[in-house]
């Protein structure tokens, strides 16, 4: 059991070692927090062009076999770890693999992984023509068969909706306020996501036409008939602020409310803050007064920012402790800690405004690695002509 389990995992590992690592794990990328400032997050932006990969490298039976092997291997792994094979989720798999094969590598993509073959092997086009050379799809000679077939399907649906409307008008059952599709909290597929779905390249013009057609479909009053079809091409937006964990207020022996901001990192500086309510606005950092600890005005302004933003400047007393980094990063770490500590005193709407102001986002910038052959991270050695 263990041996076969090891073999299946091993075969996966061999596969991973074989193919080059641009076959990223899509799901891990989608769930991992890609720290970019765009609203829509999608890892397909980082993937290579699928359609340009060429004819398929893996046949359908091969993929099916891989799927079976994966499922068996999953059950074996669950047995190995002493868990129930029926309720063994992907998260459990990841944890077990990290436990069984600890890796000291830094690159996440280089570590051993075990995922469903659909996520590991990219989607690819099956062979488009039969043994006699005749293509299967009637739109093959347009060059973008999936895209044009999708456009035709959409238009067919639009026509069907209009026909439905005409029938209703004929029966005098036509009402303007029919049930509409709710579009709040979702967005259209990105161009790259659409390309991935169709497994072929489309141009920006094509993408724009597709969105236009969908909007036209949505403009019809009775489009809710085709709601499933439309929702297939929309993605939900994650509501960011609901991820914020707000700790409840704690009260000390005198009945004064206080809350702590946990240690926040900014570029190797960590800071913790104890906020006390009904104070006079005095701040002590590592035992000294903040005017002496941060002689630079900029650092004190950073400390002031969350309090001033919420308009509670003279209300809180603070005891902070900070270590590591330089004065600027310590000020940034303290600012984050103060914002976090303040959350328990604020209402939901104010939390949202703070998040949008960027007070609750940890700053991801760290020192860039120095590369060999260069003097620093970006600076090259002096160029000499000869």
Partner 1 sequence: FLHYSLSIALPPLSYLVAQVRPLHGSGCGQQQEAVGMEMRPETFSIFRTQENDPDCQSEQHQGQYYTVPPSHFHTVFPHGLPPRYQQQVKTFNEGCVMVRQPALELISHLKRADYSKPTLRYLLYGVKGSGKTMSLCHTVHYCSTQGWLVLHIPDAHLWVKNCKELLPSSYHASRFDQPIQASNWLRNFRTTNENFLSKIKLRQRYVWTKRESTEEGQPLGELVDMGVSRVKSSSDVVGAVLKELRLQAGGTEGGFRLAVAVDGVNGLWGRTTLKKEDKSPVAPEELTLVHNLRKMINNDWCGGAVIATLSQTGSLYAPSSAYLPQELLGEEGFDSMDPFIPVPVSLYSEKEFESCYLYYLDRHWLQHPHSQTEEGKKELIFLSNRNPSVLERLCAFL
Q: How far is the CB of 276 from partner 1 (least distance, A)?
A: 16
**Among the residue ranges 117-125, 248-256, 290-298, 337-345, the one whose residues contact partner 1 (CB under 8 A):** 290-298
Contact 104, 83 (CB under 8 A): no
Residue 91: both structure tokens together: 């998260």
Picking from 157, 156, 147, the residue whose alpha carbon sits closest to that of residue 210 is: 147
Q: Which residue among 167, 308, 370, 371 contacts partner 1 (CB under 8 A)?
A: 308
- CA 228 from chain centre, in angstroms, equals 24
Cβ closest to partner 1, residue 227 vs residue 301:
301
Cβ closest to partner 1, residue 179 vs residue 308:
308
By three-state DSSP, how is residue 257 classified?
Answer: strand
Q: Which residue among 150, 202, 269, 307 contacts partner 1 (CB under 8 A)?
A: 307
Q: How far is the CB of 291 from partner 1 (least distance, A)?
A: 4
Q: Rounded to whole angstroms, what are the CA distances from 25 to 179, 186, 259, 379, 382?
A: 39, 24, 40, 33, 40
By three-state DSSP, how is residue 260 classified?
Answer: strand
The 10 Å CB-count burial string (b at 16+, else e) for 70-102 is beebbbbbbeeeeeeeeebeeebbeebbeeeee
What is the Cβ-side half-sphere exposure of residue 94, based on CA atoms within 13 angstroms?
10
Q: Does 286 bind partner 1 (CB under 8 A)?
A: no
Q: How far is the CB of 187 from partner 1 (least distance, A)?
A: 38
Q: Does 291 bind partner 1 (CB under 8 A)?
A: yes
Q: Does 188 bind partner 1 (CB under 8 A)?
A: no
- CA 26 from chain centre, in angstroms, equals 11
Q: Which residue among 208, 313, 366, 377 contacts partner 1 (CB under 8 A)?
A: 313
Cβ closest to partner 1, residue 158 vs residue 303:
303
What part of residues 65-104 is at the interface with partner 1 (CB under 8 A)? none
Q: Which residue among 7, 111, 125, 300 contacts partner 1 (CB under 8 A)?
A: 300
Q: Which residue among 36, 89, 182, 289 contacts partner 1 (CB under 8 A)?
A: 289
How many angstroms separate the CA atoms of 49 and 17, rounded?
21
Q: Does 304 bind partner 1 (CB under 8 A)?
A: yes
**Among the residue ranges 53-61, 217-225, 250-258, 309-317, the one whose residues contact partner 1 (CB under 8 A):** 309-317
DSSP 17-40: HHS-TTS--HHHHHHS----S-SS
How many angstroms separate the CA atoms of 236 and 185, rounded?
6
How many angstroms separate the CA atoms of 73 and 8, rounded?
6
What part of residues 256-285 is at the interface with partner 1 (CB under 8 A)? 281-283
Q: Which residue among 121, 207, 258, 290 contacts partner 1 (CB under 8 A)?
A: 290
Q: Which residue among 2, 131, 184, 297 contacts partner 1 (CB under 8 A)?
A: 297
Q: Does 301 bind partner 1 (CB under 8 A)?
A: yes
Q: How far is the CB of 301 from partner 1 (least distance, A)?
A: 7
**Under the rule (CB under 8 A), what is the footprint of partner 1?**
281-283, 288-292, 297, 300-301, 304, 307-308, 311, 313-314
């Amino acid at each position: 059991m263990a041996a076969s389990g090891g073999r299946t995992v091993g075969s996966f590992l061999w596969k991973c070692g074989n193919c080059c690592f641009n076959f990223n794990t899509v799901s891990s990328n989608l769930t991992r927090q890609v720290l970019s400032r765009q609203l829509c997050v999608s890892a397909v932006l980082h993937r290579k062009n699928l359609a340009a990969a060429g004819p398929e490298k893996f046949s359908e039976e091969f993929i099916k076999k891989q799927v079976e092997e994966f499922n068996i291997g999953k059950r074996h792994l669950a047995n190995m770890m002493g868990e129930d094979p029926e309720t063994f989720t992907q998260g459990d798999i990841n944890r077990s693999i990290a436990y069984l094969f600890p890796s000291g590598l830094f690159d996440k993509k280089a570590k051993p992984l075990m995922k469903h073959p659909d996520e590991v092997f990219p989607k690819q086009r099956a062979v488009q023509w039969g043994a006699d050379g005749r293509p299967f799809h009637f739109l093959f000679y347009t060059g973008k068969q999936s895209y044009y077939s999708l456009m035709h399907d959409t238009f067919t649906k639009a026509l069907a909706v209009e026909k439905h409307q005409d029938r209703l008008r004929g029966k005098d059952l036509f009402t303007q306020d029919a049930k509409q599709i709710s579009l709040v909290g979702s967005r259209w597929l990105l161009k790259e996501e659409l390309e991935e779905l169709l497994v072929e390249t489309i141009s920006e013009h094509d993408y724009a036409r597709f969105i236009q057609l969908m909007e036209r479909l949505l403009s019809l009053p009775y489009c809710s008939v085709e709601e499933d079809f439309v929702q297939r091409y929309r993605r939900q937006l994650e509501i960011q602020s609901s991820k914020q964990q707000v700790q409840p207020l704690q009260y000390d022996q005198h009945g004064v409310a206080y809350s702590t901001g946990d240690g926040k990192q900014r570029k190797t500086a960590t800071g913790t803050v104890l906020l006390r309510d009904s104070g006079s606005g005095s701040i002590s950092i590592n035992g000294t007064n903040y005017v002496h600890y941060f002689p630079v005005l900029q650092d004190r302004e950073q400390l002031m920012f969350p309090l001033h933003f919420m308009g509670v400047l003279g209300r809180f007393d603070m005891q902070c402790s900070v270590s590591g980094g330089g004065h600027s990063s310590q000020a940034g770490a303290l600012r984050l800690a103060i914002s976090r500590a303040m959350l328990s005193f604020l209402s939901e709407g104010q939390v949202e405004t703070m998040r949008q102001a960027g007070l609750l986002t940890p700053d991801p910038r760290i020192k860039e690695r120095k590369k060999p052959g260069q003097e620093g991270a970006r600076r090259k050695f002096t160029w000499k002509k000869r």
